[in-house]
Structure 1
Amino acid sequence: MGCGRVDRPEPADLRQRLVDKCGTVFEGRAGGVDRPVHGAHTYGFNTDTTGIAVLGTYTAADDPDVPGVAPTREALDGVAKIAAWKLGLTGVDPTAKTTLTSAAPDGTGGKYPYGQQVEFDTISGHRDGFATACPGEQLYSALPAIRTAAKQITVPALTATVTGAAAAGGRYYTKSTASVNWTPEEGATYHVSVDGATAATGAASATVTLTPGTHSVQLHAAFADGTTSASPVFTVIADTIRPVISSQALSLRRSTRQQRRVARLAHLESDRQHPSQLAEGHHAVRQDVRDDHHAVGRGRQAVHDPVVDAERRGRRGQRHHRRHQPLHRRPQ
């Protein structure tokens, strides 16, 4: 798969698909992208395989002869998409392995003797099947990431939910247990792992018991066609320690004169007492206001009563309204 360095590739050596640094996919060997073209990409193993060339030089950065560069994320994504599409046509797992038989006649330059069976990753490098440095150290080291990305494309991540734990800030909190729920598919088997180890199995849900601490919980599935998939990792924190509040001296603030006045007036108005009692209440409020004025005169700060202030504004507004209200004459 791929070439470490592509300067002027001859037409006979063009891979079936080419990807540039921007992730753009081009058709290589003629024949149409929708047809099973027999390529000439890896001598001895051209049958049952396809070739992908990544344009650029991806040898080691410190290579004394031809220093290379790291492949771009766009280029890696382009390769993963092609591999996922091509392998998906026949249901091949991008992260699996396969066995191929060398078809290169002895003495013609093949890496393996004619007829020898060789095990490959389903997404392999050119050097795996032929005596070459292709696709370069930096691209070859990126093949595991390409396999994972292609796998995620062919088999989307499972959808699961966590219950029995409180969600907050992208995490889940529980005392000891949490349940993982999912919608099952026919023929598939499921298990839930905690910190990478199988902890529970189930048909549509499973409950795991957690020790105190932070854990990674994930749902895994194995489908009838042999492919596997997993859900995103859930971070679940188990905590059985009750919070401890240190003893503190509680202090109560004394009721202020303002609060006493508001409470007295509210009590009188809510009970709808006799008008004389209301008058006495208002008189008491006004008396407190006068006390406040005396307090200001003595250099102390008075406390404003919002109820009294509202009454003052209301009385001023009524006087202003009467003063500017035109006289109404009875009709003759």
Structure 2
Amino acid sequence: MEKLKKIGYLCSVYNITPKTIRFYEEKGLIQSKRDPQSGYRLFNLESENRLKLILLLRELDVTIKEVHQILKYNSVQKTVEVLNNKLSEIDSNIINYNKLKDKVQFIIDASLSFQSNILTEFEKNSFLSSYSNKNNKNKGREKMNQNQLNNLTANDVKIIKLNKSTVAYVNSGLVIQPEGKAVTELMNWIRKTKLYENSNIRIFGYDNPSPQTNDFDNEEYGYEICVTLPDGFDNTEGIATKEFEGGLFATVSFSFASGTDTIPKRWNQLVEWVKKSDYTFRDAQYFEEYLCRFDEDGNDEYDNLEFYLPIMKK
């Protein structure tokens, strides 16, 4: 028999108010049942677990909209994507608050040196003049710090080991701009077989055969895209399958928000990182992972890629 808990119990255990729980229920984040006799709201174990996750995410300042997305897709990839975006937001806030801190401290120091009141100093422009000089001196320093930050961000490399797995794959053949053709065909197959209902699938793509020039918009080349198949999945009619060897990889993230024209730069940053690291290149396929989200009908959406370079210890 399903064990149900009253709203008062949840409020006591998690130190929240009934109003908070009702708010999350109104937003569709949790669901309750009604006691037919007393009319009390009752919550099952799934709702309690969802509530615990909601409270944790809200502590991390994740928005209600983002919490809804995490609960909707219920996947590791979506959770990591949201939290990575939160990290970027925090980094940006740190930079802005440090600048604000410097300005406030400067005003304090400057004010202590004034001989008259603040309005008089503004009238003499002495405060504005000294503040302008301070800004000019810091411009070069701020530019240097920003460049250092960009380098750190560009080299945010992870070392990942992928296990051997069976994949279903589609190859576009030799066409102009083959990525769209291959991706569309694979996503249609994923929807047809309802493979998207498994939140652990992963999607990888790579050039095959590779372009011979840098004229990507006009040259015919091939693109191959594959999806990992769960153990026991045998509905592979109409698609080719093969074994993915896995191994050790250096990876770096890419956001489409930065523009697709920066993709080669991001790949080059990863290559340069490997050259300067304790690793060397391994003779295997490099590829990009599509960090996909699927809705209940199998419609796909992705804003980010993860680039993978095969490596081994020197």
Instruction: Give the number of the structure whose alpha-carbon radius of gyration is greater.
Output: 1
TM-score calculated relative to the size of structure 2: 0.19
TM-score calculated relative to the size of structure 1: 0.18
Q: Whose helix fraction is larger, Structure 1's or Structure 2's?
A: 2
Query: RCO higher in 1 or 2 (8 Å CA, sep ≥ 6)?
Result: 2
